[in-house]
Structure 1
Amino acid sequence: MAELSSFDPTQQYDVLVVGGGNAALCAAIAARREGASVLVLEGAPKFYRGGNTRHTRNIRCAHDSATETLTGPYSEEELFEDLLRVTGGKTDEPLAKHMIRESKEVLVWLTEQGVRYQPSLGGTLTLGRTNAFFLGGGRAMLNALYRTAEELGIDVMYDAPVTALEIDNGMFVSATMTHGGASHQVRARTLVAAAGGFESNIEWLKEYWGEAAENFLIRGTPHNRGTVLKMLLNAGVQETGDPTQCHAVAIDARAPKYDGGIITRLDCVVFGVVVNKNAVRFYDEGEDIWPKRYAIWGRLVAQQPDQIAYIIFDASSLKLFMPSLFPPITAPTIRELAGKLELDPTVLEKTIGDFNAGVRPGTFNHADLDDCRTEGVTPPKSHWARKIEAAPFYAYPVRPGITFTYLGVRVNLEARMLMQDGTPAANMFAAGEIMAGNVLTKGYAAGIGMTIGSVSGRMAGRGAAKNARN
């Protein structure tokens, strides 16, 4: 791995990859395997390398049959239908279908780069057929990619944020990066931007969310501030995606401001009810299967007073989901639980009482759209509705946990950036979060961010290497 002592400012690389996560490494490896010389600039220190990939667990890819770790087939058509469902039909259809087709090769390709899989985890995600889980999680997956990069002779520099890009009419010329307190110019024939979104830039988030963004918790890296994204947009690259849309889940309100990761996420919404600070419910907790709805709850909580909410359930549900890092708050009665949560006890008792009165009997099955529902309750609970009556009672306080933003650069089927006039950039490609908004306009399906990163990384890396040769 390159350090400053080995950095030669006169060298012109074939491919410069800006970023250090899954998408960046897939691009770097793909380009290197095509014969290109590659430099990766990771803005974070080595210990924190990899962006949000460090916190992931699985990847959602199309596949034709069961494997040692996947329980059955998951067709291109079904994956596309799932994408349409979570985005409300709003996606770049040709690009989405192309990426889904490419995803069929990714599981094997990642294995060839040293990544290993394990059987899926249990709980509410029920992903054993659709998603491949990384053995050791995202950090192990990332370490495997870095080992392969090193073996292939890819140069990587840490603590090397890019502070400026020289772009001339859609052609990348050079980048300026800082390392050890000094600035250095890096020249390359092609650029792959894989530096993430702007989720850790609270000031930028406030432009769209107002003061509510102060109460957002950032699940992943504090280094994704959107610096490269903003430079590209200012240089005439066409933007895509809604700046207010993001992957945002409900996470434990006691989590740290940054880098709390996946262990602060809460998957127990379907087992209880969610109330705001006024002790009233505000959305259907059983709208759809959890992997297709968990990423809407951050936005829902963000729209509540003071961006705080509480998941409330009883003893019958305590062991049905993967818990948070923090223990639930518990009390022998709903009234006492309200006191611990600083909620109006009378209102909370009425909210729970009205909900219980509306529950209709059915056969409970959290892995499917069961027939346990409510009647005469607003909002309804469409599935998995059971009375909250078995003491003791439990609650988790939750806040919006932002994973990544959907504003990005527009790309074509080669992952090549498009300029504002619609023409392809001469030598600039994008991969991962920085271009995810082409496919994800809103919503989320578990594991699809890793799919976009891996697929677009391979596409961008191959395209950049070919471009450099020409």
Structure 2
Amino acid sequence: MTRSADIDVLVIGGGNAALCAALTAREAGATVMLLEAAPRAWRGGNSMHVRNLRCMHDTPQDVLVESYPEEEYWRDLEKVTAGKTDERLARLVVRHSARCRPWMIRHGVHFQPPLSGALHVARTNAFFMGGGKALVNAYYRSAAALGVEVRYETPVDRLDLDGERFVAAVTASGERIAAKTCVLACGGFESNLEWQREAWGTNERGEWPAENFLIRGTRFNRGTLLRFMMTAGADTIGDPTQAHCVAIDARAPLYDGGICTRIDCVSLGVVVDRDARRFYDEGEDFWPKRYAIWGRLVAQRPGQIAWSIIDRKAIGRFMPPVFEGTRADTIAGLAHAIGLDEATFCETIATYNAACRPGTFDHTRLDDCRTDGLAPPKTHWALPIDTPPFVAYPLRPGITFTYLGLKTDATAAVRFGGRESGNLFVAGEMMAGNVLGQGYTAGVGMSIGTAFGRFAGASAARAVGRSNPAFEEEMALVCAF
């Protein structure tokens, strides 16, 4: 069956980037249909679980203190990605983040000051009132009011292409939906565990690391259209093993555990692996700039398991996860409780404690509490673990989204052999690898999705002769180099 309505812009996906594309295209006067693979109750993709948006700002704003200028934002991105980023596209994201909040507010998104436990990002990140679910619901309400047609439980298996041009989408049920242009914003392949297993392969111990991965977000991001586009010859970017990969509670569900399963006390204590040994600097940098490397670190350890160890001094200094930690009154007792070799664990903690040097502890800055002569070191916030109760949280790799995606530019156009498609565009996780070659810093995924969702929606509308002068003027300022 073929549907051949007068659809100017077909948006495939149902999360933040897809909604930003649909709203922007509709504001320009285009007719828009959005296809969401999930049922209505599970709509929104990974955006359901987000909390905030990283924002450039030169002066204090309503929920943002001090300033966070373009160069600092760029340096933060350059640092966490180790230079694996397209600077031009990254700066577009940064600049757009300074201008997007009024537009978001017009579409029903509300912001709030950060809650206790997240105050150290009050300068860089604007938090959503009600979290990601409230943001997604606001956008869907706005889309309905503007006349965007939304269809749920409509996964797309493939596209009909004429060379580099989009013709129609073919759903899993066989329905063919034609449109003048299309925006792909249907996520990465994080919930496709078979693809994860293929990408990661085996390690030197003969293990399949991906078999122990947990998926923090939606089960519907299986990468079906990403795989199709790769087979169709679209230009790609990124490493299939690179991802927003967080150390989360090992007791979390396989899918949709979300933010509440993240373990945020890593920088306040030490982390040991199955052999009861430390393996990385827990105090390397502020937690929002380093939390997304810890899933990958744990993925590389034996059995893809580790434990975050703290004592009484850390309690109350971090956002507690949904599951309580294992407690004991002695280090030896804690080793026994979590099944680690007692002698090795006690030695690891004793060696760490002896290496801690006195300083002025302050978790809101890069303080002078460090270790001396310890490998790996703990660079900041190094306090002895010597005050009971002692607490352990089990860690597994939690995959949020993958970085393998489609190569694009400021137009958000899909490319084939370097040639831009005139009517096929990409946004969100499907192109995030252009900005994130590796690493992560809190809130930047929403910055990318919001920026390129709007870029893609505007480009799609422009391709059918529609435009929004106000947004075009805004884009001219964002793109001015």
Q: TM-score, normalised by structure 2?
A: 0.94
Distance (whole Å) between structure 2 residues aligned to residue 271 and residue 53 of structure 1: 28
Distance apart, 1:218 and its partner CA: 0.2
Residue 166 of structure 1 corresponds to 160
Opposite residue 157 of structure 1, the aligned amino acid is: R
Residue 64 of structure 1 corresponds to 58
| Conservation of the 8 A alpha-carbon contact between 1:12 and 1:186 | no
Distance (whole Å) between structure 1 residues aligned to residue 396 and residue 130 of structure 2: 27
1:287 aligned to which of 284, 287, 300: 284
Distance (whole Å) between structure 2 residues aligned to residue 300 and residue 282 of structure 1: 8
Distance apart, 1:125 and its partner CA: 6.3
| Residue 171 of structure 2 is aligned to residue 177 of structure 1 | yes
Opposite residue 196 of structure 1, the aligned amino acid is: G
Residue 108 of structure 1 corresponds to 102
Instruction: Give 1:117-156 correspondences, 5 Å limit.
Output: 117-123=111-117, 126-156=120-150
| Conservation of the 8 A alpha-carbon contact between 1:124 and 1:367 | no
| Residue 7 of structure 2 is aligned to residue 10 of structure 1 | no
Opposite residue 323 of structure 1, the aligned amino acid is: P
| Conservation of the 8 A alpha-carbon contact between 1:124 and 1:366 | no
| Residue 299 of structure 2 is aligned to residue 302 of structure 1 | yes
Distance apart, 1:207 and its partner CA: 1.4
Give the gaps of 5 or more residues in structure 2.
202-207, 467-481
| Higher mean displacement: 94-103 or 191-200 | 94-103
Residue 3 of structure 1 corresponds to none
Distance apart, 1:9 and its partner CA: 1.7
Instruction: Give 1:195-214 correspondences, 5 Å limit.
Output: 195-210=186-201, 211-214=208-211
Distance (whole Å) between structure 1 residues aligned to residue 77 and residue 414 of structure 2: 22
Residue 375 of structure 2 corresponds to 378
Distance (whole Å) between structure 2 residues aligned to residue 430 and residue 8 of structure 1: 24
Distance (whole Å) between structure 1 residues aligned to residue 376 and residue 4 of structure 2: 64
| Conservation of the 8 A alpha-carbon contact between 1:248 and 1:402 | yes
| Residue 438 of structure 2 is aligned to residue 442 of structure 1 | yes
| Residue 211 of structure 2 is aligned to residue 220 of structure 1 | no
Opposite residue 8 of structure 2, the aligned amino acid is: D
Opposite residue 443 of structure 1, the aligned amino acid is: G
Percent same amino acid among aligned pairs? 55
Distance apart, 1:72 and its partner CA: 2.0
Give the gaps of 5 or more residues in structure 1.
1-6
Change (3 A) 1:361 1:200: same
| Conservation of the 8 A alpha-carbon contact between 1:249 and 1:295 | yes
- Write out per-residue CA displacement over residues 132-165 of structure 1, whole angstroms, 9 at most, x where no aligned residue: 0000100001110000000000000000000121
* SS state at 1:247 partner: strand
* SS state at 2:174 partner: strand
1:433 aligned to which of 426, 429, 432: 429
| Higher mean displacement: 323-332 or 98-107 | 98-107
| Higher mean displacement: 451-460 or 76-85 | 76-85
C-alpha RMSD of matched pairs (Å) = 1.2
Instruction: Give 1:365-404 correspondences, 5 Å limit.
Output: 365-404=362-401
Distance (whole Å) between structure 2 residues aligned to residue 147 and residue 306 of structure 1: 45
1:466 aligned to which of 462, 467, 471: 462
Distance (whole Å) between structure 2 residues aligned to residue 371 and residue 49 of structure 1: 45
Opposite residue 155 of structure 1, the aligned amino acid is: E
* SS state at 1:214 partner: helix
Residue 408 of structure 1 corresponds to 405
- Write out per-residue CA displacement over residues 308-345 of structure 1, whole angstroms, 9 at most, x where no aligned residue: 00001111111111111000100111111111111001
Distance apart, 1:10 and its partner CA: 2.8
- Write out per-residue CA displacement over residues 277-306 of structure 1, whole angstroms, 9 at most, x where no aligned residue: 100000000001111101000000000000
Distance (whole Å) between structure 2 residues aligned to residue 309 and residue 209 of structure 1: 19
- Write out per-residue CA displacement over residues 340-397 of structure 1, whole angstroms, 9 at most, x where no aligned residue: 1110011000000000000000000111110000011111100000000001110000
* SS state at 1:282 partner: coil
Q: TM-score, normalised by structure 1?
A: 0.96
* SS state at 2:187 partner: coil
Distance (whole Å) between structure 2 residues aligned to residue 168 and residue 244 of structure 1: 31
Residue 321 of structure 1 corresponds to 318
Distance apart, 1:121 and its partner CA: 2.2
| Higher mean displacement: 34-43 or 235-244 | 235-244
Distance (whole Å) between structure 1 residues aligned to residue 311 and residue 358 of structure 2: 17
| Conservation of the 8 A alpha-carbon contact between 1:124 and 1:267 | no
Opposite residue 277 of structure 1, the aligned amino acid is: R
Distance (whole Å) between structure 2 residues aligned to residue 151 and residue 121 of structure 1: 32
* SS state at 1:67 partner: coil
| Conservation of the 8 A alpha-carbon contact between 1:9 and 1:184 | yes
Distance apart, 1:8 and its partner CA: 8.5
Opposite residue 185 of structure 2, the aligned amino acid is: A
Distance (whole Å) between structure 2 residues aligned to residue 146 and residue 74 of structure 1: 30
After superposing on structure 2, the runs of 4+ consecutive aligned residues of structure 1 that deviate more than 3 Å are: none
Distance (whole Å) between structure 2 residues aligned to residue 233 and residue 469 of structure 1: 29
Distance (whole Å) between structure 1 residues aligned to residue 305 and residue 458 of structure 2: 45
Distance (whole Å) between structure 1 residues aligned to residue 152 and residue 120 of structure 2: 37
Distance apart, 1:124 and its partner CA: 5.4
Distance (whole Å) between structure 2 residues aligned to residue 354 and residue 156 of structure 1: 59
* SS state at 1:248 partner: strand
Q: How many residues align?
A: 460
| Residue 38 of structure 2 is aligned to residue 41 of structure 1 | no
* SS state at 1:399 partner: strand
